[in-house]
Amino acid sequence: MSFLTVENIHHSYFTPKTVTTALKDINFSVEKGEFISLVGPSGCGKTTMLSILSGLIQPTQGSVIIDGQSLDNQVRSIGYMLQQDYLFPWKTIEENILLGLKLKNKLSIESKQKSLELLKEIGLEGVEKQYPRQLSGGMRQRAALVRTLAINPKILLLDEPFSALDYQTKLKLEDLVFETLKAYQKTAVLVTHDIGEAISMSDRILLFAAKPGRLHKIFTVPEQLRELRPFDVRSKEEYSTLFQEIWKELESLENSE
Ligand SMILES: Nc1ncnc2c1ncn2[C@@H]1O[C@H](COP(=O)(O)OP(=O)(O)OP(=O)(O)O)[C@@H](O)[C@H]1O
């Protein structure tokens, strides 16, 4: 059985005058430790899918099974990382990264030590007593990653976590997040508009189509790219080939709309 199974998900948004089918007949599964990306044109339902996986919205139909249990029993073990870091400005970095543990009643000497070690591993040693405004955007996103991992989530949902960063910081963070998730064998689902980012970080890429939002095609990243760090993937021939393939598929989707 797969670690994450999405079964027959259907979701519509209702307003007094309109019904929008954001997702229709979505089925896919993710293995433990696998990294998948959701890509596709604007409005194809990527964010809706992630909101369903996080338990923030209930799908109109269908189910999500994580580690053999329904999502309702697992929402506490989902980690969510967004475009904005959402660190509390009046709390220090240490207080921010321990907040999730505190809220979940999981703060202990051991869990605190683990979180501070992770902060060190991610290159943020020495900023514990500083406030978010004293850190750069990239450093704040790294702190947000530590806060997300501190609760030891079973699955990490990443909603365009690098899109607000400058290009150089983004590439560096892609490497860092990739290495960290690999080291901790975390299962992750990334939503991104950046095909290059999807190829360089993922095992598989799920291309969604719009109107109605649906899963159009799944691409498997070649084995030889999966062992490399994201930055190095970008210079490989297999990367360019897959980029072209996904790009053409996206163009054909746009032309058929
Ligand atoms: N709260 C809402 N109420 C009504 N319609 C919504 C709502 N949220 C999203 N939609 C509609 O559902 C569809 C899917 O939206 P969603 O935001 O999931 O797509 P997306 O792929 O994440 O888009 P983008 O790439 O632009 O962020 C769109 O047609 C959108 O207009």
pLDDT at res. 173: 86
**8 Å CB contact between 98 and 150:** yes
42 Cβ inside 6 Å of ligand 1:
yes
What pLDDT does residue 121 have?
Answer: 85
Task: Report CA(216)–ligand 1 centroid distance (Å).
Answer: 17
Contact 46 CB / ligand 1 (< 6 Å): yes
pLDDT score recorded for residue 85: 81
* pLDDT (0 to 100) of residue 194: 95
Q: Alpha-carbon distance 251 to 257, whole Å? A: 10
ipTM, 2 dp: 0.97
Q: Which DSSP category does 31 fall into? A: -
Mutate-to-test residue for ligand 1 from 20, 39, 53, 254, highest number of ligand atoms within 8 A of CB:
20
Q: 48 CB under 6 A from ligand 1? A: yes
CA neighbor of 160 nearest in space, from 189, 204, 192: 192
pLDDT of residue 21: 94
CA–CA separation, 117 vs 146, rounded Å? 10
Find out whether 75 and 97 touch, Cβ atoms under 8 Å: no
DSSP string, 140-161: HHHHHHHHHHHT--SEEEEEST
pLDDT number for residue 180: 86
* pLDDT tens-digit map of 36-88: 999 999 999 999 999 999 999 999 999 999 999 998 887 778 988 888 888 99
**Residue with CA nearest ligand 1 atom 16:** 45
Q: What is the pTM of this model?
A: 0.92
**pLDDT value at position 193?**
93
User: Is the CB of 20 within 6 Å of ligand 1?
Assistant: yes
**Residues of the chain whose pLDDT is less than 70?**
257
- Please state the atom number of ligand 1 nearest to the C-alpha of residue 48: 18
